[in-house]
Amino acid sequence: MKTYQIDQIKNIAIIGNSGSGKTILAEAMLFNGGIIERRGTIEGQNTVSDYRPIEHENGNSIFSTVLYTEFQNKKINILDTPGLDDFSGGVISSLYAADTAVMTINVQNGVEVGSEIHFRHAEKVHKPLILVINGLDHEKSHFEKAVEMMKERFGNNVTLVQYPVNEGVGFNSIIDVLGMKMLQYQKDGGAAKVVDIPADQKNKAEELHNALVEKAAESDESLMELFFANDKLTEEEIRKGIAKGLLTRAMFPVFCTSGKNNIGVERLMEFIVSEAPSITDMPVPKNSKGNEVKPNPAGPASVYVFKSSIEEHIGEINYYRVYSGKITENLDVINYNNSTKERLSQLFVCAGKNRTRVPELHTGDIGAIVKLKNTKTDHTLNVSGNDWRYEGVRFPDPKYRTAIKAQSESDDEKLGEALNKLHLEDPTIIIEYSKELKQIIVHGQGEYHLNIMKWHLDNIYKIPTNFNPPKIPYRETITKAAQADYRHKKQSGGAGQFGEVHMIIEPYVEGSPELTMQKFGGKEIKLSVRNKDEIDLDWGGKLIYCNCIVGGSIDARFMPAILKGIMEKMEVGPLTGSYARDIRVYVYDGKMHPVDSNEISFRLAGRNAFSQAFKNANPKILEPVYDVEIMVPSDRMGDVISDLQGRRGMVLGMASEKRFEVIKARVPLAEMNKYSTALSSITGGRAMYTMKFAEYVQVPGDVQEAVIKAYTEEEEEE
């Protein structure tokens, strides 16, 4: 295969709603470039892109797929992405690696939910956008309605470059208002016959041509001056304006295709290789040191891994983009995410599962490599001397969680290995081994997302599993001061055990003053803090441990043992067995024995004294509360707010953002179970949301009673 230079490479991500024809459009592009000899179909389960068993079973893309084609002596790297929001990780990583987004719009349905969501993903990373109205051969084709929806949802930068002459069954002609010609296609599509525009289409074509010229002129001051002076622009000048408008997202050019019949695809490819930006046109990425990494073909080799997968009989494959220099076979590099050395033994370019070996790849290109030991998604590989990494892909926070357990305990180890492999392929699947909850918690983008993960466990890894409701990581604390003392005494022949500890505990609030005197049972206790330990707890909050011993009633060498005993009870609160937090402890008195006192005696005395005091300090359960931000269509806002209130949510504010309402709320995690599914049902799938941990707050009394009851019943069952 030919080696392509920096100015011969274009990288696109095909995005859009599920069912809009992304995979079939990619299939036609590979066919037109001679990469495949025959175009596959979704029904035939033989497309280059959707080659995995789960994609055959579901009839849609689950993973992003790396493809390439060759056209007019240039290379187009194609990243075919999933359409469902549950698999947005593949969309986001593909947009990171690409220079241009090509969005397919199903002409029957216009702008669908996935179209809006993917548009926002592309907007967030400032990627140029080409719009492709696909499926114009369908009997229910409605081009004008689709365009109207696009302008309504995406704004006035939607600009027609083409329109169909005879949409519907028998569709074979397109008016190209850039070249002001009509493109006619044979039954099997392919190359167009270029003819003059028919008389009955002249006025419409002229009107759209003028609109295109004006939009192109707006993107460049010099073109605007030419346009005002001559009242027109040449085709070369229009193309220059379109390229600039595309780059700045001031223009979203619209093309017409039937991917199924390969109509209009070649013209789209011609536009991509001539007008779409390359790596030298795009904003320069920054590295971890805040410096720009310019696309220098003669510079030191540097690549970024944007996707990893595991293939049967091959193992791990890493897909990367070359951001600087060129890479060659057997090149030694350093992974600057973990400071390990790697050798790039074999380089490939990929069309789905088909790999073609190449000797080198240049700046801007996309390739794959196998048999790397310590490299995965979001890693940077540099030649020696470039001790930095790229800022990388920012994957969305998880929105759905469930507990998972192997049906057979003998599969526990295999399950752990399989989950780690699934995370490697899809970084939006987050695995949490919770010692606190005694569960494996899996986090993902939605219920369907994790159901697909379970399918892989059941069918590919052969590990039958069950999903269970995830427990909530409650916390326990106290709401008033309490005193307790405990004597541990044991004598059974030989060395005995003796330790006595007196303590006071109180709620800890940042900045609150320490006690100097406290009264319990009519007795005043003076407290003088000699020294203290301020412990930041691994599970959040603090423990303040104050040594108030005077007169040597407890030797200093036993104070760490008392603290150890306290920490043991901090890990098992008395109400639900949850971690305790935000407590200040004063150890103010006690007794020792000259022979029998030892560390274990004071550890047990400290633990039991703390436990007694905790129970007397009006303990309360705290629950995790999350900040939730929801983008929802205006007509569904009331339903969404009502649902949030039913989940004990507190709406903090609302704002408008590009045809959507943004609701900011604070909701307990316990009420967010399966929220992604509920929100999709309420809004017809048109809403998006993010959630992020905010704080722990006390649960209401009725909720606390219910939680304690459930915990007690569970303990009795066990």
- CA 259 to centroid of chain Cα atoms: 30
Q: Which CATH number fits domain 476-618: 3.40.640.10, 1.10.20.140, 3.30.230.10, 3.40.50.720?
A: 3.30.230.10
Q: What are the distances in angstroms from CA 139 to CA 20, 22, 120?
A: 15, 19, 30
What pTM does this model have?
Answer: 0.89
Do residues 10 and 278 lie in contact, with contact meaning Cβ atoms separated by under 8 Å? yes
Q: What are the distances in angstroms from CA 115 to CA 92, 119, 121, 122?
A: 14, 6, 10, 11
For the chain, the structural domain boundaries read 8-195+251-275, 302-382, 400-471, 476-618, 621-713
Q: Does domain 400-471 have CATH number 3.30.70.870?
A: yes
- The single residue listed with the structure tokens 């939009």 is 215
Do residues 711 and 575 lie in contact, with contact meaning Cβ atoms separated by under 8 Å? yes
Beta bridge partners of 367: 320
Residue type, 208: L
Percent of the chain with pLDDT over 70: 99
Beta bridge partners of 547: 531, 587
Tell me the pLDDT of the chain averaged across its residues.
94
Among 317, 316, 367, 372, residue whose Cα is nearest residue 343: 372
Tally Cβ neighbours within 10 Å of residue 449.
25
CATH number belonging to domain 302-382: 2.40.30.10
Q: What is the dihedral of CA 187, 188, 189, 195, to 10 degrees?
A: -40
Rounded Cα distance between 393 and 95, Å, is 9
Residue 718 has pLDDT above 70, yes or no: no
Q: What are the distances in angstroms from CA 511 to CA 507, 508, 514, 614?
A: 12, 9, 9, 22
Q: Rounded mean pLDDT of 238-256?
A: 95
CATH T-level topology, domain 8-195+251-275? Rossmann fold (3.40.50)
Residue type, 25: L
- Fold identical between 400-471 and 621-713? yes
Q: What tokens were used for 582? A: 């935000």
Among 403, 435, 707, residue whose Cα is nearest residue 571: 435
331-369 as b/e: b if 16+ CB within 10 A: bebbbbbeeeebebeebbbbbbeebeebeebbbbbbbbb
Residue 619 has pLDDT above 90, yes or no: yes
Q: Which CATH architecture has domain 621-713?
A: 2-Layer Sandwich (3.30)
Residue 224: pLDDT band by 50, 70, 90 thresholds? Answer: confident
Give me the phi and psi of 670, to 5 degrees please: -60, -25
Rounded Cα distance between 475 and 414, Å, is 32
Residue type, 484: A
Q: What is the pLDDT of residue 493?
A: 66
How does pLDDT run across 535-546, given as a tens digit for each residue? Answer: 999 999 999 999
Among 302, 261, 326, 244, residue whose Cα is nearest residue 28: 261
Q: What are the distances in angstroms from CA 558 to CA 545, 553, 591?
A: 13, 11, 11
Residue type, 242: I
Q: Rounded mean pLDDT of 196-209?
A: 96
Q: What SS3 state is found at 451?
A: helix
Do residues 484 and 503 lie in contact, with contact meaning Cβ atoms separated by under 8 Å? yes
428-439 as b/e: b if 16+ CB within 10 A: bbbebeeebbeb
Tally Cβ neighbours within 10 Å of residue 37.
7
How does pLDDT run across 643-684, given as a tens digit for each residue? Answer: 999 999 999 999 987 778 999 999 999 999 889 899 999 998
How does pLDDT run across 63-107, given as a tens digit for each residue? Answer: 999 999 999 999 999 999 999 999 999 999 999 999 999 999 999
